């Protein structure tokens, strides 16, 4: 660790160390950081570039390519509504519109394409927890009972 380095940078180095010896370890490292902080701080880009012998552009390119990696924390409860075809067949578009219209402060609404729950749609994920057969009332209840401070992403 470089002296005077930020805690985020130091954590990035330890994440790299944890995956030393693994082939092509950038994604597992980014997942570790995202799981811990809820986002990937842009400040880690030069650190990861140096540690992995990549250019900063390459590291930034990877972070920005994948939907999962956020550059800032998601505020409040995270609601991911599946908008893929199987859920659309059961009214996902109306559910998405309801979520965007009615879920206000403290809720981040995102679209997702397929949660693998296509026989029990519409499917929604609230703070990483999967729910099936979700209508507007059930979504409101799930959000109301969710803890806005709990971990937003799966630890993978």
Partner 1 sequence: MTTQTIVYVPRDAAARSVGADEVAERIAAAGGDGVRVVRTGSRGLLWLEPMVEVATDRGRVAYGPVAAHEVDGLVAAGMLDGADTDHSLGLTEDIPFLRDQRRITFRRVGVVDPLSAADYERHGGIAGLRKALAMTPEQVVEEVTASGLRGRGGAGFPAGIKWKTVLGATADVKFVCCNADEGDSGTFADRMLMEGDPFTLIEGMAIAAHAVGATEGYVYVRSEYPDAIATLRQAIDAAYAHGWLGESVLGSDLSFDLHVRVGAGAYICGEETSMLESLEGKRGEVRSKPPIPALAGLFGRPTVVNNVLTLGSVPMILAEGAAEFSGFGVGRSRGTQVFQLGGNVARGGIVEAPFGITLGELVNGYGGGTRTGRPVRAVQVGGPLGAYLPVDRFDLPMDYEEFAAAGAMVGHGGVVVFDDTVDMAAMARFAMEFCAEESCGKCTPCRVGAVRGRETIDKIRAGIDAEANLELLEDLCELMTDGSLCAMGGLTPMPVRSAVQHFGEDFHRSPVPLPTPTFGPNGSAS
**Two tokens at 127?**
């703070």
Cα 52 from Cα 35, distance rounded (Å): 20
Report in angstroms how near the CB of residue 3 gets to partner 1 at its nearest.
29
Binding residues among 92-151 for partner 1 as defined by CB under 8 A: 112-121, 123, 128, 130-133
Q: Taking a C-beta distance cutoff of 8 angstroms, is the pair 121, 76 a contact?
A: no
Give the long-range contacts of residues 91-94, CB within 8 A, separation 24 or more: 91/122, 91/135, 92/121, 92/122, 94/136
Residue 56's Cα: distance from chain center in Å?
Answer: 22
Binding residues among 15-34 for partner 1 as defined by CB under 8 A: 22-28, 30-31
Binding string, 28-67, against partner 1, x = CB under 8 A? x-xx--------------------x-----x--xx--xxx
Which positions lie near partner 1, rule CB under 8 A? Answer: 22-28, 30-31, 52, 58, 61-62, 65-69, 84-90, 112-121, 123, 128, 130-133, 154, 156
């Amino acid at each position: 660790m470089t002296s005077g380095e930020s805690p985020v940078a130091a954590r990035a180095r330890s994440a790299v160390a944890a995956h030393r010896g693994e082939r092509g370890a950038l994604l597992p490292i980014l997942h570790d950081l995202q799981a811990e902080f809820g986002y990937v701080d842009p400040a880690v880009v030069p650190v990861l570039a140096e540690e992995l012998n990549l250019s900063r552009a390459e590291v930034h390119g990877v972070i920005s390519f994948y939907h999962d990696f956020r550059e800032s924390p998601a505020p409040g409860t995270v609601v991911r509504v599946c908008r893929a075809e199987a859920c659309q067949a059961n009214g996902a578009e109306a559910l998405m519109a309801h979520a965007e219209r009615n879920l206000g402060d403290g809720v981040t609404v995102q679209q997702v394409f397929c949660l693998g729950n296509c026989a029990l749609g519409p499917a929604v994920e609230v703070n990483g927890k999967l729910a099936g057969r979700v209508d507007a009332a059930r979504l409101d209840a799930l959000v109301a009972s969710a803890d806005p401070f709990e971990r937003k992403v799966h630890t993978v």
